[in-house]
Chain A
Amino acid sequence: AENELSWETPCTELLVYVSTPGCDGFPSLDSKENYKLSVSKGSMLLSAETIWGALRGLETFSQLVGRDENGTYYINETEIVDFPRFPHRGLLLDTSRHYLPLRAILETLDVMAYNKFNVFHWHIVDDPSFPYESSTFPELSKQGAFNAMTHVYTASDVRTVIEYARLRGIRVIAEFDTPGHTLSWGPGAPGLLTPCYMGTAPSGAYGPINPIVNSTYQFVTSLFKEVSTVFPDFFLHLGGDEVDFTCWKSNPEIRAFMVEMGFGEDYKKLESFYIQRLLNIVSSLDKGYIVWQEVFDNDVKLRPDTIIHVWKENNMQYLNEMANVTRAGYRALLSAPWYLNRISYGQDWIAAYKVEPLSFEGSPEQKALVIGGEACMWGEYVDVTNLTPRLW
């Protein structure tokens, strides 16, 4: 009949050609994810420079295959040349506010792959809990996890996540956020956190990591030495956000240190003092680092290849921050308008979609410093019972 589709010779295989051999490595910020997809009569060809590009092309290919009412799979003739606009396309999961079982993380990695995300930002520990099982400091999770038997990530779990991600072309960037957001570190590392004072006596409460004692830097060196080996990506996220100075201010030894160092009343200088030492430690471990925007805002001395993570959102102020960060020559990651944990009624995907990361005043060189962004799913109100429908 005239209006029937004319089926061409059935295609039975997709030829995949990758010009740079090797499937055993890890994806990186510089990985090329370009691919070409060619579907024509009797031949289907996917070609890419790297395996990572091939993965992206396979995802696209899987989306192009349709099925008709008779159950026959079909695909339209097509010529695609595709490549990402931004090289860092990430998703943050928070496994400290609520523990997320392995299957939730792995399922998320699957859906990330469907959406061509290529960075899993694992905000693994924070104030409420420390689920990361450290081989150097086993007490950290023993004392700091919600439950040291059931709510931890063993070394094997972590390896599973890293490999599962790698097979999908997804980098795993771990965040060990300091010096704030570290309450759960305290029980397993006595002497690490600053004892807060009420008048002349300790109140029993603790604050951020104590920046004035040498033991802190010994601890941090050992921990990050381990973390650097466990997580193969070049970058580590070092946090540095929301440091509350009240506890430091209350501690007489710290006040004395401030005087000694000539910091006056400017506790940002003390924060910088800690962060700079931390950055040096991590550099010496041959890792690059990403930090939250406060580290930049508070004038910490940063290596030029530091990546600044812009997260504060207040009436589109984040665009100013993006301009400032890039004007100062640093690379920037955008998350501020993409805090997906902040749910609201209706089609809020539209607001997220409308964001234009480069809509700030700046030169083309500045704009080139924006390497991408991350959707964040903070865990205060999220666990395995509601993560997937909330995120996707």
Chain B
Amino acid sequence: GLETFSQLVHEDDYGSFLVNESEINDFPRFAHRGVLLDTSRHYLPLKTILTNLDAMAFNKFNVLHWHIVDDQSFPYQSIYFPELSEKGAYSSNLIYTPTDVQLVIEYARLRGIRVIPEFDTPGHTQSWGKGQKDLLTPCYNGGQPTGSFGPVNPVWNTTYDFMTKFFKEISSVFPDEFIHLGGDEVDFSCWKSNPEVEEFMKKQGFGIDFAKLESYYVQNILDIVSSYNKGQMVWQEVFDHKAQLKPDTVVQVWMANNYARELSSVTGAGLTAVLSAPWYLDYISYGQDWKKYYSVEPLKFPGSEKQKKLVIGGEACLWGEFVDATNLTPRLWPRASAVGERLWSSSNVTNLQDAYRRLTNHRCRML
């Protein structure tokens, strides 16, 4: 309401501040309205993250999905495993210390923004292997290790010992009820090449279905995280590959191809869904692309009323392959504002001309 109030106050030609008589009864359409920032492909200094929390508040976003580590770098300074960032960060000053993390969480909290961290496994983990020996799967070629590594090794007990300890830390560092566990784009080729994994597959009766091995791994992680009383968010592959998910697991739908059908499937299975597929804002293009983000109708998929209620919201994603502090803010905003309105406002607020008029004003306000 304070944000809205600040938008209603305007200045006249003489510099007097005015606000019109107003009666407003407002509430969000969706409860989960998020922005994903990726601090692994490029490190983002604290200032950039905080500026974006401000911008999020201007647009009534309430979730920062912090995709904090990935293949390229591991900037999260872990208390239990300091080597992870020591060896995995781009450099010693391109890290987030515990103080940095608390600062982000508090800055967000004061703006009513939840911080959901994502520690994506078993894929997207190259940087973890630098500081944690014997975590990733050694790839083989012709019976010999090649020297390169694949996803997290799902057959070793030490993997789960590590994850148990690691997620204990994450669960206490990040106060939100939810942790995002990733689970996307797992490349099976390294697992296929590894003789121990091959052996394990046989023993478990998985045949050659590596999706089963992935699900085996994911289920173990989900159990670990549940034991810390945290809810879990996962990318859609975890659901697609038929892992056994707890009923309150949130599935993030990101694959653009036929995402409406995916929403039907996910909600049809009784699981909650968060939509990102049409809102990959890192995919820049010429012209007024905000219109296409604005025109998305998240509930436009075949399903019952009950199913539609399971779509709790969405997230605008700004993946970091081509983004850093020099260009993040003008790339993300005001395009993300279109997503913000779509997630807060009623389904009948769809007029593009009207939105254009308000968006141009809003942009100037944000500047």
Enumerate chain A interface residues (CB-CB to B < 8 A).
Answer: 341-347, 381, 385-386, 389-390
Contacts and interface: CB of A to CB of B under 8 A. Distances in A.
Contacts of A345: 282-285, 322
B15 interface: no
Interface string B12-31: 00000000000000000000
A342 B286 CA distance: 5
Contacts of A344: 284-286
Nearest to B334: A385
Nearest to B280: A345
B286 A389 contact: no
Contacts of B282: 345
B326 interface: yes
B322 A346 contact: yes
A342 B287 CA distance: 8
A343 B286 contact: yes
Contact of A389 (B285, B287, B330, B367): B330
Nearest to A382: B330
Contacts of B285: 343-345
Interface string B316-353: 00000010001100110000000000000000000000
Contacts of A341: 286
B284 A385 contact: no
Contacts of B287: 381
A385 B330 contact: yes
Interface residues of B, number: 13
Contacts of B284: 343-345
A389 B324 CA distance: 10
A344 B285 CA distance: 5
Interface of A is mostly: loop
B333 to A, nearest CB: 9
A341 B287 CA distance: 9
Given A341-B286, A345-B285, A389 B327 contact: yes
Contacts of B367: 385
Contacts of A385: 330, 367
Interface of B: 282-288, 322, 326-327, 330-331, 367
A389 B326 contact: yes
Contacts of A346: 322
Interface of B is mostly: loop
Contacts of A342: 286
Nearest to B325: A389
B340 to A, nearest CB: 18
20 contacts: A341-B286, A342-B286, A343-B284, A343-B286, A344-B286, A345-B282, A345-B283, A345-B284, A345-B285, A345-B322, A346-B322, A347-B322, A381-B288, A386-B330, A386-B331, A389-B326, A389-B327, A389-B330, A390-B327, A390-B330
Contacts of B331: 386, 389
A345 B256 CA distance: 16
Contacts of B322: 345-347
Contacts of A381: 286-288
A341 B286 CA distance: 8
Q: Which of B283, B322, B326, B330 has the most CB of A within 10 A?
A: B330
Contacts of B286: 341-344, 381
A346 B284 CA distance: 9
A150 to B, nearest CB: 13
B85 to A, nearest CB: 21
Nearest to B283: A345
Nearest to B327: A389
Nearest to A381: B287
A148 to B, nearest CB: 16
A126 B338 CA distance: 29
Given A343-B286, A381-B286, 4 more contacts: A344-B286, A345-B285, A381-B287, A385-B330
A381 B286 CA distance: 9
Contacts of A386: 330-331
Contacts of B327: 389-390
A142 B288 CA distance: 30
Q: Which of A344, A347, A381, A385 has the most CB of B within 10 A?
A: A385
Contacts of A390: 327, 330
A342 B327 CA distance: 16
Nearest to A346: B322
A183 B330 CA distance: 29
Contacts of B283: 345
A382 to B, nearest CB: 10
Nearest to A386: B330
Contacts of B326: 389
Nearest to A389: B327
Nearest to A339: B286
Q: Rank and list the top 6 A-B pairs by shortest CB-CB distance, nearest first.
A: A389-B327, A386-B330, A342-B286, A345-B283, A389-B326, A385-B330
Contacts of B288: 381
A386 B287 CA distance: 14
Contacts of A343: 284-286
A94 to B, nearest CB: 15
B7 to A, nearest CB: 20
A341 B331 CA distance: 14
A385 to B, nearest CB: 5
B346 to A, nearest CB: 29
Nearest to A392: B326
Nearest to A380: B287
A344 B322 CA distance: 11
A381 B282 CA distance: 17
Nearest to A387: B330
B363 to A, nearest CB: 9
